[in-house]
Amino acid sequence: MTETRWLNEVTWDDQGLVPVIAQDAETGDVLMFAWMNREALSRTVESGEAVYWSRSRRKLWHKGEESGHVQKVREVRLDCDGDVVLLRIEQAGGIACHTGRRSCFFTRLHDGNQWQEVDPVLKDPKDIYS
């Protein structure tokens, strides 16, 4: 029988989800933010690759299943309230974002009143998802 006590120690929200931050284990860059349910976290730890819960598609989502940009999990952390997960990962292809950028956080607030896209597209999404 699989030991699941550690999964019970996570504080799941009223939809059975927990927010997840994916951080590059080498550089410390925050690459993306997503959600997991219990099964997603369990599969992530068993397989060693990030599996999220897609709230829009309402299904498990093995990150990189289409793009090849899988995330190898080096470390799983939990915050002080037990309700946020931090994954320290190795990002295959160096691209976490569906826009073809390294990180999803490529938009920066400029002068306190204007969002600017500041990081480059590394690969055309057409070539990623073809």
Contact residues for a copy of itself, defined by CB under 8 A: 3, 5-6, 9, 19, 21, 23, 27-30, 32-33, 45-46, 75-82, 84, 86, 97-99, 101, 104-109, 112-115
Q: Least distance from C-beta 68 to a copy of itself, angstroms?
A: 19
Tokens of 103: 């990180």
Residue 63, CB-side half-sphere exposure with 13 Å CA sphere: 34
80 assigned ligand-binding residue: yes
Nearer to a copy of itself, 82 or 94 (CB): 82
Tokens of 91: 């990002």
Q: Least distance from C-beta 62 to a copy of itself, angstroms?
A: 18
Strand 71-78, strand 59-62: pairing: unpaired
Q: Least distance from C-beta 32 to a copy of itself, angstroms?
A: 7
81 assigned ligand-binding residue: yes
CA 44 from chain centre, in angstroms, equals 11
Residues 6 or more apart whose Cβ sits within 8 Å of residue 54: 60, 61
Q: Which residue has the tokens 């390294």?
A: 102
Nearer to a copy of itself, 28 or 127 (CB): 28
User: Binding site for Zn(2+): which residues?
Assistant: 80, 97, 104
